Structure 1
Amino acid sequence: MAKDLQGKRIIVTREASQGKAFAEKISLLNGIPLELPLLRISCKKAENQEQIFNNSENYDWIILTSANGVNCFFKQFHSGNHSFSADVKLAVVGSKTEAALKQYGYDADLVPDIYDAESLAKIFLPKYENGERILLVRGNRSLDTLPKKFKEKGIGFDSIEVYETTMNEPIKDELYKVISNKEYDYITFTSPSTVQAFVELYGMAVDSPCVCIGTTTEKAARDSGFTHILTAKTFTIEGMLEIMVEDQS
């Protein structure tokens, strides 16, 4: 059985700063990373930020669904004289979000075994007590999975949009060259947003192998017209690497 990537050329489409870590892991497994960040992520000040921060001690739950959300939220939260209730509980979508949270000195109270919003909702809802106040930390392209679940159950919540994901237009020509000349073996997608960005920037899906971080991203790829899809068993970049290594066997 193969134990590495055997020199395969792998397109890393995630945002540049996060893509670096992925690229390094690819290189360590004898793969060739092609860094083509299709997205740009920047923190933003939400219209309701002051209201949310000034009332932060009233929340019983803070729910964070991405490392970007953690970083942008706490950078802005810590810049003012704000604090949580001593009893606040923190829920995160997965291990990377949990790790980002620890960097700010907090431990997660709730982490699903499967790293997606659907799984987080399944373990959160039985723990929710009627009347508890929820703050959902989001980006402009965050999925509506949790808001829909809460509305279905009649659960009220506040939401704050702390970061913005936009298309990395300058990468378009380089992406077109690599794809049209077939200078790669795999395309990697770490979110539905990366799938959408690929289709918008390149113009269409392709029939080459694409590797998705989880089932939500897989659905986005399938809906966009990708047909040769490999999906990580564990919804992390390590899981994506594992599935590509297995594909060499």
Structure 2
Amino acid sequence: MNDSIQKYLSQLEQKPLFGHRVLVTRARSQSSELVKRLADLGGEPIEMPVIRTVMPSDLSQIDTALQEIAHFDWIVLTSVNGAEFFFQRLGELQLDIGEIEQVKIAAVGPKTVQVIEAKGVQVDLVPLSFRAEDLIEQLLRMVEPGQKVLLPRSNLAREILPIALRQVGCIVVEVDLYETQLDTGDAERVAHYLEQGTLDMITFTSSSTVQNFVKVMKSIHPDIQALLSTTQLVCIGPVTADAAIKRGLNVAAIADPYTMEGLIQAVLRVAKQSSKKL
């Protein structure tokens, strides 16, 4: 064997995820960072995006809100997707970002903040952790009754935030800025890995990825618990983990913090605990 190949293989075997095949279920448009990190750590990432995000076919609701953006007191962006679609549509409507200067911005997660600040817009509130409950706790200390709050979100977003804001007297405008849709991905190949017991871990980055993965897999193999019996599930946060548990699935690890890096560290913890190799 060529010395350089031998050296490469030797180095690869020393990496913490060597011998571990890890499924990535998040949308393909957002999976590249996670896939690269898993590969750099010696793992074999398998992509099966079970969701895709698209703008809704009817944009009248969001367009009306954006054209009146200066009349809002707060804009709350709870995801990277939300921030990206928000600024994309602002640009498509040729609206001046300067209109947002007098509006306070709340954002969830460092990646969401990066997207916003890259547009030259200041973020006024970032919760210490990345759950809706923590955002609510801090936001309720800052809003006042009668203030107008814009929530541009996914069509599948939880209702806990708008309910809490309305209870303290805020005027809340909810708009479906993007839709989260089912994507079947490479389901047959993944089902084969699971049936053979050769898929070590599955990463879930949202409740939608859990829901859609289970739906797709059940269409191939109805007994989802048996199908996943030799595979460890790693979730990005407690809300995502709850979605898995409610569907009868066992969660091996939950990221802390609830970020992509936290998810990777959770994968590493699971790999360290497992002696299974390909």
TM-score by length of 1: 0.93
Number of aligned residue pairs = 248
Instruction: Provide the residue aligned with 2:234 in structure 1.
Output: 211
Give the direction of change, closer, same or farther, for the CA distance of 1:195–1:225 in structure 2 (3 Å limit): same
Amino acid at match of 1:33: P
CA contact (8 A) 1:187 1:209 kept: yes
Match of 1:106 in 2: 121
Seq. identity, %: 31
- Name which of 193, 210, 225 aligns with 2:248: 225
1:139-163 residue CA offsets vs partner (Å, 9 max, x unmatched): 1111222122223334321011111
Paired residue secondary structure (1:226): coil
Of stretches 171-180 and 196-205 in structure 1, the one that deviates more from structure 2 is 171-180
Shift of 1:117: 1.3
1:115 aligns with 2:130: yes
The letter of the residue matching 1:78 is G
Cα distance in 2 for partners of 1:172, 1:230 equals: 23
**Match for 2:268: what amino acid?**
V
Secondary structure of the 1:169 match is: coil
> Structure 1's 175 and 215: CA in aligned 2 closer, same or farther, altered over 3 A?
same
Please state how far the C-alpha of 1:181 moved relative to its aligned partner.
2.2
CA gap of 1:228–1:54, structure 2 versus 1, over 3 A, is closer
Structure 1 residue matching 2:31: 3-state secondary structure: helix
* Conserved 8 A contact 2:146-2:169: no
Partners in 2 of 1:178 and 1:131 — Cα distance?
Answer: 55
Map 1:4-83 to 2 at 5 A.
Answer: 4-44=16-56, 45-83=58-96
Q: Structure 1 runs of 4+ off > 4 angstroms?
A: none
Task: Give structure 1 stretches of 5+ with no counterpart.
Answer: none
Distance 1:168 1:64 in 2: 24
Q: Which amino acid is the alignment partner of residue 80 of structure 1?
A: L
The answer to whether the aligner puts 1:138 opposite 2:153 as a matched pair is yes
Cα distance, 1:111 vs structure 2: 0.7
- Structure 1 letter corresponding to 2:264: L
Q: Distance in 1 between matches of 2:248 and 2:175?
A: 32
The answer to whether the Cα contact below 8 Å between 1:12 and 1:35 also exists between their aligned partners in 2 is yes
Report if aligned partners of 1:58, 1:85 keep a CA contact under 8 Å in 2: no
**Aligned CA distance change for structure 1 residues 117 and 3 (closer, same or farther; 3 Å):** farther
Q: Measure the CA separation in 1 of the matches of 2:31 and 2:54.
A: 15
Residue of structure 2 aligned with 1:166, choices 173, 181, 204: 181
SS state at 2:122 partner: coil
| 1:81 CA drift (Å) | 3.8
After superposition, give the CA deviation of every residue in 1:96-134 in whole Å (9 maximum; x if it has no partner).
111121232223111111112111111111011222210
The SS at the match of 1:37 is coil
With over 3 angstroms needed to count, the CA separation of the structure-2 counterparts of 1:6 and 1:143, relative to structure 1, is same
Letter in 2 for 1:120: L
Change (3 A) 1:128 1:166: same
Greater CA drift, 136-145 or 81-90: 81-90
Contact 2:237–2:258 (CA under 8 A) maintained in structure 1:
yes
**Equivalent of residue 197 in structure 1, options 212, 216, 220:** 212
**The structure with more radius of gyration:** 2
